[in-house]
Amino acid sequence: MANYEETSSNFTHDVFLISSPNGNSKTFTDYIYQALLDSKITTVRYSDKDITTTTMEKCRISMVVLCENYAYSTQCLDELVKIIDSYDTKRKEVCVIFYKVEPSDVWFQKNCYERGLNLIEHEKSLGRDSERVKGWRLALSRIRDLGGQHCKEDKYESGYIKKIVKDTYAKLPPPPVPTEVKHPIGLDSRFEQLKSLLDIESNNPVCMLGIYGEAGIGKTTLVSYLYNKIRHQFEVASFLTNIREKSNNNNIIDLKDLQRTLLYETVKETQTVMETTFEGHSQIKDKLKHKRVLLILDDVNSIEQLKALAGGFDWFGYGSRIIITTRVESELDKHHVTIRKYKMEELNSCESLELFCWHAFNMSKPIDNYADICNNVVSYSKGFPRALKALGSNLKGMKMISQFPMIKSSRTPSPIDKISKHMLPHKGRERDRKARNQTESQRLSVSWLLEIFH
């Protein structure tokens, strides 16, 4: 698992698609290519310009369309040798499609595959015992170990293509969640702590971990960071955000919507019908009990939400990890299963100053002569990342900070709730402020600080 996680970040595309450029499979391959793109599966074709061996190595899956003309192309045969070698040495996924050709003709080089190889041997003056020809024949024989889909009739091509796309999607790791972590201050050390608690490298039974702490302390940022780093190690994954807001006081309709979202994100279930959340329990358990699942339940504030989305260890397959963030530690204790806990601590003074400076000055340290002011601003934030980011972003540059000479280190820090009043409860307000013009943003910043440091 660890090796796969390490190499997966090097991939630039999902699928490397290769077929004979002059074969009878060209139109069929065109349809596959477009269907993969339509399903948001990033794909490059061997016929595309600037495609190199490095490009193939940067793709998670190699998809080979074998047709009657494939063995007539030395380039295609050479690529097949590389694909089989990558499968053997790096365990890269290979998807094989036999298009209007018998698999046994490929495996044993009979009929059109025998004729193609014989023609190449003659035209290229290659002997049957040459190393290059031996490599081609061995690669074609090895196809037998990989299975594949046999597409025989034109009238069923759309069905074949749908199945190809579905099977390909199932082989890809869960997609990342969008995150704006440009400066992961303090995240790496906390990630290592969580990784140890979760025992991710093992295939132990299901583990639930609850991360608790005040609003704005960075719980969502941390689990987003964690999710993107470990998602490759799971069959399926789901990241359910803002559950407290979306469940609307545990409204049954809202909880059922969250259950449907969980099923869609993990198994692409689109026709889910449930009259009650109890039916949702059964469907989640039925679909996920044999899969290694990574599930993030973000901002939970009620045991009813936990019961609806992760009611028991037996809902998920061996090795699954369920991670919960909450402001209310006591809700974790109400679950009938044991939940490990992790208290989210504030950033220390050094981490806080660095995070603030990145957002205020685009550098890790204060500008000369502003260290005292920066340290005092940081002390008011109490180590809350969201407050530090908002203060830094709205005090962007030396000119803005110079407007606050009244901020002296001798002043008694204001309570954290003054910062919270402006910045912590409303995640959307920071996005709204970014859309305003600079002058309006600066006026807002001034009013904030005048009240915060009053």
Are 154 and 203 found together in one domain?
no
Are 335 and 365 found together in one domain?
no
Are 6 and 154 found together in one domain?
yes
Are 261 and 406 found together in one domain?
no
- Final residue of a domain: which of 343, 366, 388? 343
Q: Whole-angstrom Cα distance, residue 33 to residue 80? A: 18
The pLDDT value given to residue 145:
92
pLDDT above 90 coverage of the chain, percent? 50
pLDDT tens sequence across 130-174: 888 899 999 999 999 998 999 987 767 888 999 999 889 888 888
User: Comparing 328-337, 355-364, 405-414, which segment has the lowest mean pLDDT?
Assistant: 405-414
Structure tokens at 224: 């987003």
Q: Where are the beta strands (DSSP E) in 143-277?
A: 149-151, 207-212, 236-240
Are 192 and 150 found together in one domain?
no
Are 365 and 338 found together in one domain?
no
Query: Residue 180 domain-assigned?
Result: no
Query: Residue 419 domain-assigned?
Result: yes
Catalytic hit among 68, 79, 93, 331? 79
Q: Among this protein's residues, is 79 annotated catalytic?
A: yes
Query: Residue 298 domain-assigned?
Result: yes
User: Comparing 44-53, 61-70, 147-156, which segment has the lowest mean pLDDT?
Assistant: 44-53
Radius of gyration of the chain from its Cα atoms, rounded to whole angstroms: 28
DSSP string across 362-428: SSSSPPTT-HHHHHHHHHHHTT-HHHHHHHHHHT-SHHHHTT-TT--TTSPPPPHHHHHHHHSS-HH
The answer, yes or no, to whether residue 434 has pLDDT greater than 50, is no
The pLDDT value given to residue 439:
40
- CATH number of residue 315's parent domain: 3.40.50.300
Q: Whole-angstrom Cα distance, residue 263 to residue 257? A: 10
The larger pLDDT score, comparing residue 250 to residue 242, is at 242
Query: Residue 31 domain-assigned?
Result: yes
Are 191 and 166 found together in one domain?
no
- Final residue of a domain: which of 118, 139, 171? 171
The pLDDT value given to residue 49:
54
**Nearest one of 381, 385, 307 to 344, comparing CA atoms:** 385
Query: Residue 11 domain-assigned?
Result: yes
- Number of domains the chain contains: 3
- Final residue of a domain: which of 313, 343, 373? 343
Are 159 and 213 found together in one domain?
no
Are 197 and 316 found together in one domain?
yes
pLDDT tens sequence across 96-134: 999 999 999 999 999 999 998 888 776 677 777 788 889
- CATH number of residue 8's parent domain: 3.40.50.10140
Looking at residues 237-243, what average pLDDT do you find? 95
The larger pLDDT score, comparing residue 278 to residue 9, is at 278
Looking at residues 75-92, what average pLDDT do you find? 90
Query: Residue 179 domain-assigned?
Result: no
Query: Residue 363 domain-assigned?
Result: yes
Are 167 and 232 found together in one domain?
no
The answer, yes or no, to whether residue 435 has pLDDT greater than 70, is no
Domain that holds residue 403: 349-452
Q: Whole-angstrom Cα distance, residue 411 to residue 28? A: 73
Are 325 and 191 found together in one domain?
yes
Structure tokens at 90: 């790096």
pLDDT tens sequence across 187-232: 999 999 999 999 987 777 999 999 999 998 999 999 999 999 999 8
The H-assigned helical ranges of 199-251 are 219-230, 243-246
The pLDDT value given to residue 178:
82
Query: Residue 182 domain-assigned?
Result: no
The answer, yes or no, to whether residue 429 has pLDDT greater than 50, is no
Confidence of residue 186 (pLDDT cuts 50, 70, 90): very high
Are 309 and 410 found together in one domain?
no
pLDDT tens sequence across 351-377: 999 999 998 888 999 888 788 878 888
Other C-beta atoms within 10 Å of 115: how many?
14
Confidence of residue 418 (pLDDT cuts 50, 70, 90): low
Q: Whole-angstrom Cα distance, residue 35 to residue 368? A: 56
Looking at residues 303-317, what average pLDDT do you find? 95
